[in-house]
A and B are shown apart, each in its own frame.
Chain A
Amino acid sequence: MKIVGIAGTAKNTGKTTTTMTLIETACEQGVPLAVTSIGLDGEELDQVTGLPKPRLELPAGAFLVTAEHCISGGTAELEVLKELRAQTPLGKLQLARVLQKGRVLMAGPNNQRDLNEVAQSLEGREADVLLVDGALNRMAPLAGTDLFVLATGAARSNNLAALQRETQTLVRVLKLPGLPPREKSTFSYILNNRGIKGLGTDSLLSRERVERIFSSCREVKEIFIRGVLTGEAFSRLGSMINPEGCRLIISNPINLLLGEDLKELDRAVEVWQKAGGELGVEFPLDLRAVTINPFFPDWQEKGGFYQPRYVEEEALKRYLSSLKVPVINVVREGGSRLWSTVFGEN
């Protein structure tokens, strides 16, 4: 079974539309599938903006993992097969099968460990694909998925030049190559001539932390970060040690994207690599496509509500076409292109 993570850069970037398109195509092609979400999907109106959301419809035979209180929230007839251990604000997760097609309300695992439990619960069942719909800009629970799709668009920024720069950074990081750490380690470490030394923390989140840890190091052979490395910390790291010949390995690419400033991260990557530093991840992601959505909710100060608006589709596509990954306007280009891009030979 292939697990596909569909992450977004923000609310309303098209995650659920992408997921729904994959569901429809799977149906057409007769591929048995399972679906879940790391947030809440399938509700009529957005919880924050109050604007209509795309509804989630599942075909008969599909598996679904959703929270207890969502089981009766749709029109699909479901058979609950199993209760899982994972708990959510809407109750415990349930594995169910769709008996009669219809809309579903989906609130699934909110972290990677619980997503693993979901995948395990599907073992031995008739599902070739598990689609995991993202939530908001959250990606961390999807770090262990086999195939990855990133949804972005005007809801993230309707300044297309800025959106282009940011998406380039995201793609650059999400496509970082695998780089196996020299030491098999359960903690973050520095490796230099004197040997391996624990960092004392899994994550480097701030400049200050980097300064404390690296005050007496200059020449380092390898740094392994199990947790998060923010752009700010990365930037300081690049100026404290000599990147040349140093292998910097992060557990997974998403852990590089969790800081506040993506521009700073981009500069830090640039500086590191130019100075001869190696950068890679222990568990690479297989980023298959970026899907784009021209829609954005526009806040009306006067009326105090969100107005649905759109950027020009052609312009959006043009700006993002330089990315080193297939860019798909799902609504315009249809499901088969998306399907073959996601599941085809790389």
Chain B
Amino acid sequence: MIAINWILALPNQCQQIMSVNEKIVTDLVNNNVSFITTVPCKQLAGVIDGIDKCDDIFHIPSNKEDEGMGLCAGAYMGGKRAAIIMQNTAIGVTINTLATLIQYYHIPLPMLISYRGEIGEPVACQVEMAVHTKALLAQLNIPTYHFHHPDDVEEFDAILKYCFMSKKPVAILTDASFWKGA
């Protein structure tokens, strides 16, 4: 489980014990991501909490993920780096927005996605979208990374840099095994 008071710790004091949630929030801040919209998922509760408490990030919860991508597109055009945090079921909601807004206008958008329906999943229905998730992202030519081990978070910083360099949506799928390290 995540420590809820981690944000109080000084960054240089928590490097060695930095949890997955801490590392994600720290990397977002270090890459100047200052506008984040979220639609909750149980697996993402800790990182959403960290973002909400972070003074360097404006957190704006959205009611649906396509709405959230609209907010991010606007914030980007306003000069902020934006990101979305959502569940993989949202891929089904956002395909049109990804194709006709984010990709069509060349807007960079890191998408931190909880990958429900993978090994360790207790809810059978989640598997039904899990089996389509990578295929849909591949069909959209969206660069996709799958975090399975907690150590995979080490690549998050480079993925953010790649996303803003390429001005593309980039998906980071984070499964239940990964979040065991949170």
The answer to whether A and B belong to the same complex is: no
| Chain A positions near chain B (C-beta within 8 angstroms) | none
By a beta-carbon cutoff of 8 Å, the part of chain B in contact with chain A is: none
